[in-house]
Amino acid sequence: MELVPIKGDTWYLDGAEHIPLVRLEGGRCILLDSGHGFEGAGLAASLDRAGLRPLGVFCSHAHRDHAGNNAFLRERYGAWICLPFGEAALSASLPMYKSLYPSFSPRKLTAAIGHILGPVDQTVAFEESHVTFCGVPLQVVHTPGHTPDHICTVTPDGVLYTADALMDGEDLAKARLPYHAYHEEARRSMEKLRRVSCGCYVAAHRGVGTDLVSLVNENLAMLDRLCGVLLDLAEEPLSMDQLCLAYYRRMRLMTTHVEKASLYSGSVHAMAEYLVDMGQMNLTVREGLRYFQRL
How far, in Å, CA of 87 to CA of 61, rounded? 6
Mean pLDDT over 82-105 rounds to 90
What local confidence, expressed as pLDDT, does residue 108 receive?
86
Residue 263 pLDDT: 86
Task: Tell me the average pLDDT of the chain.
Answer: 94
pLDDT over 90 (residue 109): no
Mean pLDDT value of segment 39-55: 96
Average pLDDT of the residues in 201-208: 91
Q: Residue 289: is its pLDDT beyond 80?
A: yes
How far, in Å, CA of 270 to CA of 181, rounded? 6
Strands (E), the chain: 2-7, 10-14, 18-24, 28-31, 53-58, 80-84, 122-124, 130-133, 136-142, 151-154, 159-163, 200-203, 207-209, 238-239, 281-286, 289-294
Q: What is the rounded average pLDDT of the residues 85-113?
A: 89
**Distance of alpha carbon 28 from its chain centroid, rounded?**
26
pLDDT at 163 (0 to 100): 96
pLDDT at 204 over 90: no
Give the CATH number of domain 233-294: 1.10.10
**pLDDT value of residue 206:** 83
Q: Is the pLDDT of residue 257 over 90?
A: no
Q: What's the rounded Cα separation, in Å, for the pair 118 and 260?
A: 24
- Say which range, 10-24, 87-101, 123-137, 274-288, has the weakest mean pLDDT: 87-101
* Domain residue ranges of the chain, discontinuous segments joined by +: 2-223, 233-294
pLDDT band at 104 (very low <50, low <70, confident <90, very high): confident
List, as one string, the DSSP characters of 62-128.
--HHHHTTHHHHHHHH--EEEEEHHHHHHTTSHHHHHTT-TTS-HHHHHHHHGGG-S--SEEE-TT-
Across the beta sheet with 80-84, what order do the strands follow? 2-7, 10-14, 18-24, 28-31, 53-58, 80-84, 122-124
**Sheet containing 151-154, strands listed edge to edge, beginning at the edge strand earlier in sequence:** 130-133, 136-142, 151-154, 159-163, 200-203, 207-209
Distance CA 57, CA 32 (A): 6
- Separation of alpha carbons 286 and 295, rounded Å: 18
Residue 1 and residue 103: Cα distance in Å, rounded? 34
Q: Cα(243)–Cα(192) distance, rounded to whole angstroms?
A: 31
Task: Taking each helix axis as running N to C, give the angle between helix 183-193 and helix 212-233, from 0 to 180 degrees, rounded to the nearest 10.
Answer: 160
The reply to whether domains 2-223 and 233-294 share a CATH topology is no
CATH number for 2-223 (one of 2.40.50.100, 3.60.15.10, 3.40.50.300, 3.30.56.10): it is: 3.60.15.10
| pLDDT score at 176 | 94
Rg of the chain in Å (alpha carbons): 20
261-273 pLDDT per residue, tens: 888 999 999 999 9
Q: In the predicted model, what is the mean pLDDT of residues 256-282? A: 92
**Percent of the chain scoring above 70 in pLDDT:** 100
- The predicted model gives 207-218 an average pLDDT of 95
DSSP symbol at 252: T
Please, are residues 94 and 132 in contact by the beta-carbon 8 Å criterion? Answer: no
